[in-house]
Each structure stands twice: as C-alpha cells, then as structure tokens.
Structure 1
Amino acid sequence: MRAAIYARVSTERQERQQTIDSQLAALRAWADAGAHELRDCHIFRDEGYSGARLDRPGLDGLRDAVRDGEVEVVAILAPDRLSRRYAYQVLVLEEFRRAGCAVAFLNHAISDDPGDQLLLQIQGAVAEYERALLSERFRRGKLQKARAGQFIGVHAPYGYRYLPRQEKSAGRLIVDETEVETVRQLYAWLTEERMTLRQILKRLNFGPWFPRCGRRPWSPSTVHHILSDPVYIGTAYSNRYEYVPAKKPRSRKPSYRGVGCRRLRPKEDWIAIAVPIIIEQETGERAQAQLARNAALSFRNNTKYDYLLRCLLTCSACGLAMYGITRHLAGNIERHYYYCAGKDCVMTARAQRCPRAGVKGADLDGAVWDHVRTLLGNPERLAAQFQQFVGDADRSAAQEAKDEARILTRQNGLNQADRRLLDAYQAEVISLEELTERRQQLADQRRALDHQLEQQRDLRRQRTKAQEIFTDLTAFCERIHGRLETASFADKQAIVQLVIERIIVHDDHLEIRHVIPLHNPPPGRGPIPAAGPNGRLCSDRVNAAPLECRPQHLGSGGLQPEMRVGDHQFHPAQTPAGERAQELGPEGLGF
C-alpha cells in the first residue's frame, strides 16, 4: 500500500532532543515491517508547531496528499501527535475516512469498534486537558518568577543582552555596551534637541548607527519603542498585556493564540522587575512629555498651506480642535480660515453641529502674533506677573501645610480602621465577604488621599524653583526678542508654538494659555532657540493658565470687532473657581 507518515514536536527543546527523529524512525520501521511503499515526498513533519493548531505546514501537505489520492494509509505515532484537541482529531480522521485513506496509530491501533472509538475520544479529551494544564502551570510559573524579580523571556530590549540562567543565578538582563550609547543618543536627540521621530530616523539612517539586525533602515516602531519603554529607566514590567478577541478582525484565519489582539491590563496588575538603568528618571519623564508634545503638534497632516496657529486652537462652544482650510477665490486669490472640527457630525459622532462660524486666518494670526510680540518685548511685565504669583503662592503655603496635616491625620484614621476590621474578622464578628467589601472602600479612600498628598508635595517642589525661574525670565526674553521683528513664517510659527500652549476661541475674545520654557539650551544650539527642520519648537513643559483679554482692533473680517487678546495681570479674585491661575515647574513658567 502507498503509505505516508507524520510526526510532530511542539517545542524547540524537543527538536534539540531529537524526539521527532525517534518518531520518524519508529514510523519507518512500521512501513518496512508492513511492506508499505513509502516515498520521501510522503514523509511529513512539523517541528515547533503546537498541537492545538491545524494550520501546520506538514499537516497541510499530508491532507493535500490524502485528498489527491496519493496515499492509502497514514501512520502516526499517537493521536496527540495528530492534534491535542479532540474536535480537530475527529475532523481530520473523518476527512481521511471520506477520502478512503486508513489511519494507523502505532501506540494504539484504532478500529471501528465502539470501544476503540470511545478510547480515542477519551485520549483526545485527556490530551486537550493536559495541554490546558501545562499552559496554566507555565503561566503561573512565569508570574511567580516575575514576582521574585526574575526577567521573563530571552529577547532582550535594544541596549541590553540576556544572560542565561547559570548554576546559582537566574537569567537576567545586562547592559550591552555596543548598543547602550545609541539608546542614550536617541534620548538626547528627543529631550535636548526636541526632534521628532521622523527627524531621528533620518539621522539614524544616514549615520553610523545600525539596528540589532545589522540592516538599515531603522523601523519607526523600533525607535518609538526604545523612546517609550520604561525598561531603560530601570523597571521592566511583566503581565502587562492580556489577549482578547479582536473587535474588528483583519483576517478570518485564527491567530496563533486563538485570539485576535492584546490589550494593556490595569496598571495595578503589572509586575515590576528591576533591571540595570540606562536612562535617568528625569530624562525618561522629559522624553515621555516630549513624545506627547510631538504627537499634539504633528505635521503629518494639513501641510499643503501655512497656518500659523495650527494645533493650537480650541473651540469654546464644543471643546473640539479647530483646523485650517484654504478657499480659492476669483482672481487666483487664496484665503485662509479656521473652522471647528465639530462642524462634521459624522467624524465627531455628535448629534449636533457646532454653531461656531469660521474665523479669518489673517485676522486671527495677526492678533495672536501682535500679542506674542508685545508680551515678549516687555519682560518687566512678565516679571511683575511672576512676582504676583510668587506672593500668592507664599500666602497659600500655610494653608497647604494645614491641608497636608489634615490628609495625614485621615490616613492614620484609615489605617486604624483597617486594623479594627481585621480584629473584628479574627474575632468572627464580621464575615469574610463584609471584610473584603469594607477594606475595598478603605483602599479607595486611601488612594484618593495619596493622590491629594502627592499634589500638595508637587506644589511645594514647584515653589522651591521660583527664584531660579525668576532669574532666568529676563534671559529668556532677551534670547527670543532678537528674531521677533524680522521673523520668517517658520520662525513665527516656532515662537508661537514655543510660548503658547492653547488658544480658546470665544465669540468675542480669545483665551490664550501660555508657557515660557526657561530650560537652558544644550551646547551647540546657539544663544537663542532656533527653529528645527520643520520650523517648529516645543516647550520643555506644558503649564496652562487662563488669561482675560484686552480690546484689540482687528479690522474687518470674520472676527468680531470686540475680539480681545489676553494679556492682563492676575489677581486671586479673578481666578476661576477650582482653577489655579499659575502652575510653576522647574523648566517652565505659566503666566
């Protein structure tokens, strides 16, 4: 009879132990003993493929050969080598039976006898159970190792090497000296030169740096992963993702894990693992802030025409962003407008269109630029506003100290309540369910208090930098003042995006939220900030503060004559309820 044989192993370790060769040797011996005709093209093998899958190259070839009538009998070592799922076993065996092909299992011959069929079903069910059991043990073992501080996996991130397990030490990450300088260089480009991802990629691909595979170009996803992965600041995370069915599957073919995609677990489920530090914590935080800023100011869209205030405008009526459009009029005239994104109910998934009318770009651009030029040309007024803020902050320091003491007292009370609950449970006064519910309530209150306490401490740290920022305030205005009068469009856009965080467009005025970056430029950048290749600068840190407005004549056009640009001194009574007029950081000043 024309015969075919099939063998399978599911792991690389089984491949190294040559278990598939032992299967093939036994199957060849069976063919020789039965005087079957076995050709080399009818020897099918799957190395490193799970028995829970049907999409295996060797199995597909075997099924094709049976379908085409090339073989009359198929020999397999055991049913679990065919599949570890009973449903798959039945499917393939029924397919072979309809094609007139017999199946022989060497470890146990299966006939059409009801007893043998029952045994086959039991073996398939047991094999499926064993696989599920092994999978669960493997998962729990990985979690246990992660909680013990062991790095999970053998694929080290770029900049590290994986040191395999030795006799007395577990596997761990160590710094790769050939790659670590590239990682530090990427973070320097992002945080010091404020480059975008595309600019970094261009520099990498035209420089002496190579990815781990040794071939260019660098992948954007690889560079973004390096710049956003917390492993470089000393913490790797295990148990970050869970696998779930895809909401919109891209393919009807099932994925390797039987599910469509993965998603982040809640952060409290992550398991932190200490690894060698490559990037300092402060640099890592600045990198994440810069990535967020780059995303907000991305130039990937709407670049055909120049819009001074792109990515900065927000509609006060609906809260959505405003974007620029260009209309072509008679006589080859182009006119720019800013429109609210809320005009499109389909894209915003809103029931009603935003009532905000379009605003002439020339009027709005001119008003904002005049305001910025006046503001930066008068550092004395900035200093006066800063002094006002520092005075208000000093007066509120005593109240904040009282608030912090109150929070600490409440935290101590919650800790005592938790201990009393445990005592009551041990005395069998309350049930386990009641204990769990009430402790969860205490935990929620404790997290809220911890958040309030951290906010208080952040404010205290901000005030410690007040004098340093005040010293640098005049220097910043001098650095930027030189290019205000002769600035090109690219320079104007760079300056506007440097000092303005958000512009909220009201019916009769503008609300401008500023940020002044005071971090000293890195060496080689010159005495004043310079526009990058895309004509754009980003602030070191975003700090927002609402400003009331001053009447400003804007001429005719889409803006109302009462349009005003904010520029006045803050007083505590004028600050909106629940909103601080100023937020001060070590690298930025809101005013």
Structure 2
Amino acid sequence: MAREEYCIYLRKSRADLDAEAHGEGETLARHERILLELAKRDKLNVTEIYREIVSGDTIAARPVMQQLLQEVQAGRWAGVLVVEVERLARGETIDQGIVAQTFQYSETKIVTPLKTYDPTNEYDEEYFEFGLFMSRREYKTIKRRLMRGREAASKEGKWVSGSCPYGYKRVRIENGKGWTLEVIPEEAEIVKLIFQLYTKGEPLPDGSKRDIGPHPICRRLEHMNVPAPSGGRDWRTRTIEQILQNPVYIGKVRWNRRKTKRKVEDGKVTPERYVSKPENWILADGLHEAIIDTDTFQLAADKLAKRGPAPVHLNGELKNPFSGVAVCEKCGRVLALWNNSKGYSMLKCRNRFCDNVGCSYEIFEARVLEALSGWLAGYELKWEEAPAKNDELVGLAKRAYNQASKELENRERQLARAHELLELDIYDVDTFLDRSRVLAEQIAEAKENKVAAASALSSAERAAESRKNLIPKVKKLLEVYETLPSAAAKNEMLKSILEKITYRRDKRTGPKDDFEITLYPKLPSSEE
C-alpha cells in the first residue's frame, strides 16, 4: 500500500534565536504556519508535527531527530515537510550522510516551500546533497565566528562559560553586552576557608598548626554540614583541588583550557574532553571581584606543585576481583578494595556516610567460594529433574507461538475477503469500512499476541540454555580460581556466573567473619 501520510519537522537555528531576540516572533510557531499552509496547498495529509526544542550540532544531541530518522527508515512517512533542508542536518559530515542515505533508501520525500526533493530522482538527489554541503560550510563559518567572539569577550574580562565556579553566579553586564560574575557571600566564605586551611594549616589546642591537605578539608566541610557544589554533602578531593587551582578567585578569566575532540568508537562519534597546552590558554583580568589575594593563591599553587601527581595503578591494572560484583546491602554502592602499608587488604563500602562495616578481603573471598560450592551442590540436585521440565516449557511456548501465527493468518485472510466482497458489490463502502476497522483491531491484537509468544519462546529457550551452562561454569570457577593469573581474570569469571553479591556487617567488634553475604547467580527469571 502506498504511503499517504506526511509529517512536519520544526527546529530552531542560531539565526532564529537572534531573530527572536530582535522581536521577530516565535520561530517554531511561524514555521508551523508556513508548512501547514504548504500542506493545504499541495493537499498533503499531515498527521504528525515534530518539534525540536534543542539546537544540537549533531544527531546524537537531537532526540526528536533520532526518532524521526527511525520512522523514516521504517518507511512510515511518504514525506517530511521542513522550511529548508538545512533544518535536517547542517553539522558533522557524517550526520549529513546518515540523513541523506536514510531518506534515499526509504524513498521518503523532503518537502520545502521552494522545492520538493524526490530521492528517487537523480537530479533531486544531487541538489539535496549540494544543499547540505553548502549548509555545512555556513555552519563552520558561524562556528568560527562564535569562537572568535568568545575569545574576544574573554580577553575583555567577560565570563563566556555557561557554568559558574563555586562562590559566584553569572549576571548580565550593566549597560553593556555579555556576562560577568557576582560573588555569592556565603560560598565566598567557604572558598576563603579552603584556601586558609590549605595554606596556613589547621589550628591545634596548643596554639600550633597542623598541615592539612584536600582530603581532610573535605572531611572538615562535611562535619560543618556545608553543601557541596553538586548539591549534596559529599565533598570530593578533586573539587577542593580545582578550587585551589582556579585563577577566577583572584579576579582572572581563563578560557580555552579544556577543549573537545571527537573520536570514532564502534562506528559512533563520541566527544572527548582534554586539557590543552598552557600556551594556548587565554588568561585575562576579569570584570568580576576577586575572593582570594594573589599571594595566597600563589602559596596554594606552590604547595600543590610540591605534592606531585596522584599515584595510579600501572597500565590501569585491575586489583579487585570483586569489582562491579560485590555491593553494599545497605546503600547499593560497590565495595572497594583498600590496602594498607602492612599488606592488610579490606573490602569497604565507598559511601562515607554508610555505616556498613568493612571486612578482611581474604575472609570475604573464602566465604564467597564456600557459598558458591554449597549453592552448586543444591542446584545439581535440582537439575536432575530440570531437563524434562525444560522440554515441557519450551514445547508449551512453541505451541503458543504457532497458535498465535495461525490466528494472525486467519485475520489477514478475512481482510482480503472483505476487499473481494466490496469488489463484488456485496459490501457497500460503509459496511466495508466498518468491517475493516474491526479486522484492523483484531489484526493488531493478533500481531501483539504473536510478538508476545515469540518473546516467551525465546525466553524459554534462553532459560533452558542458561540452566544447562551455569553448572559447568560454576564448577570450572571453583576448580581454577586459585590458579588464575590476575584479578582481572577472576573478575571476568565471577561476572559470568553472578549478577551481584550483597554484603552487610553491622558491628565493628566480634569475630572477623561475622558478616552476611547473599549471592545472586545468573539464573533464568523464573528461578530467581
């Protein structure tokens, strides 16, 4: 059946935002009127209007566009109405190629007030691709102009970033263009306290002072119930370090420090943030008020430089075999492996505000292996009756699927018969339409039943396969666990058989093995 339905796609551009600022009216509403008039003139049956509120550079940043492309690819629409082809894609070349191929392969028309592009027409295809190419050039020109404007504004001391550093809020420049920062008094006092503690130390009862680093400063702020920049009460060491290193607090504006580059992974373009070379940074006197004096800031910088970089594991080697598997029963956070200077290893909840007590890693590991061995013994007994049960469940699912398929075929034959009766004048048009509506509902229901039956059959088959394979996997792990060469190898085997392990310990005193663990093997859903 030929497609007769059309849809409208509306999206703002940066030029539209400028036009709205100059009082030219709401863009989407104006474009909607233009395209509805076009549909009326050309007698196009428009049944859906898509509105893209965000103005993203890529398809990945435009969820409505993603939905539209999926429907175009599925062949739902005869055509899409847009005010200009540039509204579909003007960013990355790869995105323009995706849009062009999607419309071409689905033979979906692109209707604009000036021209209708038919992807099956060779000349229209070339014209459409040329339009995208020109929009790409225009997009790059606009982007370069925006970047030059931001660089110029930052050199003038204006605040050009969207987010604000802790202690400030963004405000419009009075009698001028652009933004600057305004001090938030309560947060500014916390910033001063952070610099004071780090550069001058913490006062002790005897009058002396103790040197204090970013981590103890976090604990001090949490003890004082100071809200963190993220909104919670969990202050991070990295947050303190960023505050100590940010020249915004001495009245400076820094721009172009962090940049974005795109890379392709598994066929998808993903952005990656990195710190550029210092010689590429822009550092200018800001229009805003400073919170910290230059001497204090330099003292903090010198002290940070002496600390050196944080230690890291060589080659990013995994040290915890239970990484991503063992979780806290109380708060749900993963358990972390902690090693002290004496070689003692502990598993602890990563949440500082959780009262779940940690335990010895060696004891935890032994308990997990013991629990797996006990579970395996019981499951093997249960498995003796499983093959017959598996065959029965799969057989029932297959019969349900076959019945649903026959029901759908029967309803489709009835619809074909209704068409024949209309052609033979046994049905008049009204009777045919009534019958078609009833059959359409029954066919839709039959299709849903068939899909549900297919899903049930697939689940039954996967469950049978899971039951058959799980026992050998657990046996293999128990046999070779102690001989595995690395924590990463142990972690991989544990993840292949366990969804998770929950851990709970309420008392710090008492036997070291006085804790509870619960194993969640990767069983079929019916057995969980």
Q: Give me the TM-score of the superposition, normalised by structure 2.
A: 0.50
More helix by share: 2
Q: Give me the TM-score of the superposition, normalised by structure 1.
A: 0.45
